[in-house]
Amino acid sequence: MKPNFIQKVTNWGNFPIVEKEMKSEDSFKKIKEFVLNHNEVIARGNGRCYGDASLGEHIFSTKKLNKFISFDRLNGIIECESGVLLSEVLEIAVPQGYFLYVTPGTKLVTVGGAIASDVHGKNHHSEGCFSEYVIEFKLMTENGEIITCSRESNADKFWATMGGMGLTGIILTAKFKLKNIESAYIRQESIKAENLDEIFRLFEESESWTYTVAWIDCLQKGKDIGRSILMRGEHAFQHELPQSMTKNPLRLKKKFQLVVPFYFPGFILNALTVKIFNFLYYKKQTKREVKDFIDYETFFYPLDLVHDWNKIYGKSGFIQYQMVIPKKSGKEGMKKILEAIANSGNGSFLAVLKLFGKDNQEAYNSFPIEGYTLALDFKVNSKLKKLVDQLDAIVQEFGGRVYLTKDSMSKSSLTNYLKNVQSSKFVSLQHKRIINNK
């Protein structure tokens, strides 16, 4: 048997699927050879972006760059290779009283991926993007050279790489800051909102909370449009915790992991089942307001508890559509978006609403701008492209943009905030699609 590195590769949405070369290496020398020997290369982490962002002609998988380099336990500064997962960082950091400043909704992304997407979390309004806490990283450039990028040296590359979707080179290692925590638990409040007006009011009232996010039932129409549950949270101090959590406040018990064993048949997820799910989810919380303490995994990463949950969407796959609409027209824009979705009948199983704070001007390739962002999962079917076109038109009308990490079929004008990444070496299928769509 001779190795053949051509294989089927797809990201989390299982759409699109391509047959391309994928290889991984842990020796920097061999990575250099790989870069020099191929015309078009793109780095790929754990494949948790949804669309075609990390797909290309020759894919370099960073999964073997999975070592820690240093951990300054006094100052909470950690350095690791780019293929280390955020979950692995947390495994080390949490028992020592540290947490990631910024985390996306899954801990199964790599550190390199977090930089390339400049991920945001439930705390964007208060603490910004991942890039704010990165001290420096090492980048392999087109000619195989390894350069160190920070705010002081190679600053142009530093900022272009933040949210640069891997188009500036291969991130090899990264050093970043962690935040102090006293416990592995979150003091959470969940509040039900009956409609869009109420949820927007709640977001604005909750601005002093570090973490806020809302789950939204996107199949409601008329006066119920925007029916949702707001969740806000703070890292719990030890003295706040209930007795049962004080014994080992920085350690969590191992949880039972659910596994989706195979791709669900296409008919399982349809307008009716999504409606039932959303109805039950909203009704599960009987009181208007619930205050409790939950562990960080449940608060930040509820979906990580279901291994391979992407298979629920069947073999045709799904897309995630995440857009942001500037704050001044946020409510009006969201209303139109939700109306369009409800009218299409193409329900989203999971719809998450958030308020972004001010953007960091220096990190110009980052997705967030001040405004409301909505993330929606849609199963891929024949009607989907039409809905995406409709949604794109609304986002455009209000001057919004679409998140490159989630994008797989949007208009290029909504993803063209990406700058200073032109390279003949580092090329992704997504970037080609965006450029050719002009």
Partner 1 sequence: MIVLGSTSEVAQAFVEKALQEGEKYEKIYLFTSSKETTERFARHLDVKFLQQAEVIDLDLMKEIDYTKFDHINSNVLFCAVGYMGDGTEEGLYDHRNTERIIDINYAKLIPLMNYFAQKFESRRSGTIIGLSSVAGDRGRQSNFIYGSAKAAFTAYLSGLRNYLFDKKVHVITIKPGFMETKMTEGLPLNPALTAKPKQAAAGIYNAYRKQKNVAYVLPVWGIIMMIIRNIPEFIFKKLKL
Binding site for partner 1 (CB under 8 A): 1-5, 23-24, 26-29, 64, 67-71, 80-81, 92
Q: Is 321 helix (H, G, I), strand (E, B) or coil?
A: strand
Cis before 302 (ω within 30)? no
- 88 or 217, CB closer to partner 1? 88
Collect all residues with Cβ–Cβ distance below 8 Å to 216 and sequence separation of at least 6. Answer: 199, 226, 227, 228, 338, 351, 352, 353, 374
Whole-number minimum distance, CB 386 to partner 1, in Å?
36
**Distance separating alpha carbons of residues 121 and 134, to the nearest angstrom:** 15
Whole-number minimum distance, CB 264 to partner 1, in Å?
19
Helix residue spans in 57-140 (DSSP H): 86-93, 111-116, 124-127
Whole-number minimum distance, CB 120 to partner 1, in Å?
27
Q: Is 254 helix (H, G, I), strand (E, B) or coil?
A: coil
Q: Specify the residue for token string 């080179």.
A: 169
Task: Give me 158's structure tokens.
Answer: 């530093």
Whole-number minimum distance, CB 237 to partner 1, in Å?
27
Whole-number minimum distance, CB 417 to partner 1, in Å?
36
Whole-number minimum distance, CB 210 to partner 1, in Å?
28
- 3 or 222, CB closer to partner 1? 3
- 55 or 269, CB closer to partner 1? 55
Q: Is 22 helix (H, G, I), strand (E, B) or coil?
A: strand
- 17 or 340, CB closer to partner 1? 17
- 28 or 417, CB closer to partner 1? 28
Collect all residues with Cβ–Cβ distance below 8 Å to 59 and sequence separation of at least 6. Answer: 9, 20, 21, 22, 23, 41, 42, 43, 44
- 28 or 277, CB closer to partner 1? 28
Whole-number minimum distance, CB 67 to partner 1, in Å?
4
**Distance separating alpha carbons of residues 376 and 96, to the nearest angstrom:** 35
Looking at residue 75, what DSSP letter applies? T
- C-alpha dist (Å) from residue 66 to 25, 69, 83, 155: 11, 10, 5, 25
Could you tell me which of 158, 54, 33, 72 has the C-alpha nearest to residue 110?
Answer: 54
Q: Specify the residue for token string 């191992």.
A: 254
Q: Specify the residue for token string 């950091």.
A: 93
Whole-number minimum distance, CB 1 to partner 1, in Å?
5
- 23 or 275, CB closer to partner 1? 23
- 1 or 280, CB closer to partner 1? 1
